[in-house]
Homo-oligomer: A and B are copies of this chain.
Amino acid sequence: MQFTAQQIASILNGTVEGDSSVAVSALAKIEEAGTGSLSFLANPKYEQYLYSTDASIVIVNNSQVLASPVKATLIRVEDAYSAFSVLLEAYNTIKLDKSGIEQPCFIHPTAQIGENVYIGAFSYIGPGVKVGDKSKIYPNSYIGDNATLGKNVTLFSGVKVYFDCALGDNVIVHSGAVIGSDGFGFAPTADGTYKKIAQIGNVILEDDVEVGSNTTVDRATMGSTIIRKGAKIDNLVQIAHNVEVGANTVIAAQTGISGSTKIGERVMMGGQVGIAGHLSVANGSQFSARAGINSSIKQEGQAWGGGPHMPYKDYLRAYAKLRQLPELDKRVYELEKIIKELKKD
């Protein structure tokens, strides 16, 4: 698809400066853009690129003053960054615009499929499954018995949803993520072996949740593992059984949350965080990357770091000193020697 500067200016309610017939078919960063692509300038730090870019069109703020001649056609708008975001989203919507049911796929006769859905080839829709309108299930995905998907859900290729799990509206799950595998529950027996504890609960992903690729969310032993509305989970994250993640909480990659822990709302976690089981974490808590949380956090809105965790400022100070520990040890040794001498006197 190609769009002319004139067409784009109309969409954005902007004004064209330069050749209004020049056409673009891609979006790019101003420092990387080539001929045939459209870019934007919002951050003054990047202004230098405006004069050297190969982009065919650049969106700029109405207020942008030109210090040198510009090769590209300009489209002037009130807020270049917002305008570009609109185009970015439109571009993505077109890219991901799939519909129809590809063959072969497996749809059990008892499954209920909404309208305007996409079901990719080799996807499996089990007995009793419900798929809401406008949902997209990419190829090679699996939806187990009686699982439900709301409206406008996207499961990218190879997502696995175990039986009985429930996904709300607008949920996005990336490739390879597993929703509803068994919680890790085993009872030790007298002979040293372990007996599996049946995991009969499910997983609920509320509306607007996004789950990253190859992330795993285990089903509850009983009841539900719940990811609340609007929470965003990155790749390779482990959510154990009976965990609850609060609304609008954001969890970066490779973090692990142990069983039955309850995370509040608007919590932010860096990557590779680890949280022990059966804890509760107050709303608005912030964990720096690699934090190890081993006790409940009751005070809201605090920042934490280190493992075991401590207030973020303490963490910074303590780990900075860690490197000087051998030197500190030596200083104490010197003091001990001197004291010994002094005491002799």
Contacts and interface: CB of A to CB of B under 8 A. Distances in A.
Given A240-B253, A266-B192, A276-B289, A140 B121 contact: no
Interface in A271-323: 271-272, 274, 276, 289-290, 292, 294, 306-308, 310, 314-315, 317-323
A28 B223 contact: yes
Interface string A220-234: 001100000010101
Interface stretch (A45-53, A71-79, A333-341): A333-341
Nearest to A144: B157
A32 interface: yes
Contact of A184 (B102, B140, B196, B252): B252
Contacts of A276: 289
Interface stretch (A2-10, A61-69, A111-119, A206-214): A206-214
Nearest to A98: B145
A interface residue count range (under 10 / 10 to 19 / 20 to 34 / 35 or more): 35 or more
Contact of A139 (B106, B199, B258): B106
A87 to B, nearest CB: 9
A343 B254 CA distance: 54
A290 B271 contact: no
A100 interface: no
A175 B181 contact: yes
A124 B182 CA distance: 23
Contact of A92 (B28, B198, B252): B198
Contacts of A196: 172, 210
Given A193-B248, A292-B290, A184 B335 contact: no
A238 to B, nearest CB: 4
Given A27-B200, A106-B102, A339-B339, A178 B214 contact: yes
A236 interface: yes
Interface string A237-248: 010100000001
B176 A176 contact: yes
A315 B320 CA distance: 12
A304 to B, nearest CB: 12
Given A174-B181, A329-B321, A142 B158 contact: yes
30 contacts: A28-B223, A88-B200, A92-B198, A106-B122, A122-B124, A139-B142, A142-B158, A156-B181, A158-B160, A174-B181, A181-B213, A186-B210, A186-B232, A196-B210, A235-B238, A253-B256, A258-B271, A271-B274, A272-B272, A274-B289, A274-B290, A289-B292, A290-B292, A290-B307, A320-B326, A328-B332, A331-B336, A332-B332, A332-B335, A338-B343
